[in-house]
Amino acid sequence: MSANYIRFLGTGAGDFHAAVPDVCGEDCNYKRALNLGGKNIRRATSMFIWPDIVVDFGETSREQLSVFGIPELSIRHIVISHGHYDHFNPSKILEFASLRNEPLEIYGALPIQTALNFAAAHRWNPQTFRFEAQSQENNCRFHEVIPEKPFRLGDVEVIPVLSSHFIDKAHLVVEQQALNFIFRRGSHTMFYNLDSSYLLPETMDYLSRFQFDILIMDATFGDLKIDPLQSGHHNFAMLDETIEEFRGRKMLKPQTRIVYSHLSTCEVPPHDEVAGKMAEKGIILAYDGMTLEF
């Protein structure tokens, strides 16, 4: 593989493989995917950006680095979108950081730092149903990131933007600040929309300054009808609208690669069954291990 690429380490949603065994019926998408194996298995959302960045780091990220032959000690920067368990596993990150001499650099909103410090100082006792104090090594160096304030990781510029995710919409309560990211390297620009529902107006306005080479969109619920008030994600119909808005605002190039990821294993059929149909519509359905030049 030549330089300047991204690799999907996991393309699942909250029901990623390994997280929720045996949740559905006999002939469910989850079990068919398990039987098919390969590209049909969706692990926790995580993405490698060459040479040393991982975006979102969940339960399965470390083993996926090894599956795809990426040396774990080459990773220096972990960028976290938000604190849901399928994107952020504090114990796994502390364990990963402890392998290194130098601190592991972590970038995210403040609740990410709070959660890492909490996980280092506590363990759960399932017998007493209480937390117990512990002191685990914490070899992470945290960097708070702010929406629309760019920062640089080597030759990659990162611009966090506010996501519409992790919000109790009915009560207008932001439960945790969730971030999406614009990544830029040279003349290449990518939008990482995991996780997200319909974009916030200020985010859409900010994104309108750019033309994107790659869009990685939250497509969690596939063809399932959902109530947007109750969900922090898109289904395919909502994404059609969002992509159309990107097009209307001239944010796409003729060759823009539109990628759907964060795919519910229960709701989006196995890759082998739907990727072809999506390709006819000009959509790339992501799978674990997929690489794109960036």
User: 56 or 213: whose CB is closer to Zn ion?
Assistant: 56
Query: Does 218 engage in binding with Zn ion (CB under 5 A)?
Result: no
Q: How far apart are CB 12 and Zn ion at their closest, in Å?
A: 8
User: Of 114, 37, 38, 126, which Cα lies nearest the Cα of 83?
Assistant: 114
Q: Near Zn ion by CB under 5 A, which window of 84-92, 125-133, 139-147, 243-251?
A: 84-92
Assigned token pair, 102 = 């130098």
CB-wise, 56 or 105, nearer to Zn ion?
Answer: 56
Under the binding rule (CB under 5 A), the answer on residue 234 touching Zn ion is: no
Q: Which of residues 128-187 bind Zn ion (CB under 5 A)?
A: none
Do you find a cis peptide bond into 195, omega within 30 degrees of 0? yes
Q: At what angle do helices 29-36 and 271-280 cross, to 10 degrees?
A: 100
Residue 280 region by backbone torsions, left for phi larger than 0, else alpha for psi between -120 and 50, else beta: alpha
Site for Zn ion in 248-267 (CB under 5 A): none
Cis peptide before 51 (omega within 30 of 0): yes
DSSP of 145-188, one letter per residue? --TT--EEETTEEEEEEE-S-SEETTTTEE-S--EEEEEEETTE
Q: Which stretch binds Zn ion (CB under 5 A): 76-84, 100-108, 185-193, 202-210?
A: 76-84
Angle at 38 between CA 236 and CA 273, to 5 degrees: 40
Q: Identify which of residues 84 and 271 has a Cβ nearer to Zn ion in the complex.
A: 84
For residue 8, the minimal CB distance to Zn ion (Å) is 14
Q: How far is the CB of 82 from Zn ion (least distance, A)?
A: 6
Smallest distance from the beta carbon of 197 to Zn ion, in angstroms?
A: 10
User: Residue 271 and residue 274: Cα distance in Å, rounded?
Assistant: 6
- The DSSP letter of residue 73 is G
Give min distance, CB of 44 to Zn ion, in A: 8
195 is a site residue for Zn ion (CB under 5 A): yes
Interface pick for Zn ion out of 84, 185, 234, 271 (rule CB under 5 A):
84
Tell me if residue 141 falls in helix, strand or coil: strand
Buried b or exposed e, range 183-193, using 16+ CB within 10 angstroms:
bbbeeebbbbb
Measured from the CB of residue 98, what is the shortest distance to Zn ion in angstroms? 25
Residue 47 or residue 251: which is nearer to Zn ion going by CB? Answer: 47
7 or 84, CB closer to Zn ion? 84
* Residue number closest to Zn ion, CB atom: 84
User: Nearest approach, Cβ of 262 to Zn ion (angstroms)?
Assistant: 6
Q: Which of 59, 86, 213, 267 binds Zn ion (CB under 5 A)?
A: 86
Per-residue buried b or exposed e for 242-253, using 16+ beta carbons within 10 Å of the residue's own CB: bbeebeeeebbe
The contact mask relative to Zn ion for 97-136 (x = CB under 5 A, - = no) is: ----------------------------------------
CA distance 129 to 132: 10
Of the ranges 33-41, 57-65, 106-114, 191-199, which one interacts with Zn ion (CB under 5 A)?
191-199
Size of the site for Zn ion (CB under 5 A): 3
Binding site for Zn ion (CB under 5 A): 84, 86, 195
